[in-house]
Structure 1
Amino acid sequence: MTTTLEIEGLTVAYGGAPVVDGVSLAVPAGSVVALLGANGAGKSSLMRAVMGLVPSTARRLAVDGRDLAGHPPERRADAGLGYVPEGRRVFAGLTVRENIEVAVDGAAGARAARVAEMLELFPDLAAKAGERAWRLSGGQQQMLAIARALARRPSVLLLDEPSLGLAPLIAAAVFARLRAVAESGVAVLLAEQNAARALAIADTAIVLAHGRVALVRPAAGLSADDEALAALLA
Structure 2
Amino acid sequence: MTAGLFPKERAGVAPGAVHVPGWLTVGRQRELVDACRDWARGPVPIRRTRLPRGGVMSVQTVCVGWHWQPYRYTRTADDVNGAHVTEFPDWLVRLGREALDAAYGDDEAADGVVGGVAAGGAAPAGVMESEPYTPDTALINFYDGDAKMGMHQDKDERSGAPVVSLSIGDTCVFRFGNTETRGRPYTDVELASGDLFVFGGASRFAYHGVPKVYPGTADPALGLKGRLNITLRETGLQD
TM-score (norm 1): 0.28
Larger relative contact order, structure 1 or 2 (CA cutoff 8 Å, min sep 6): 1
Give the TM-score normalised by the residue count of structure 2. Answer: 0.28
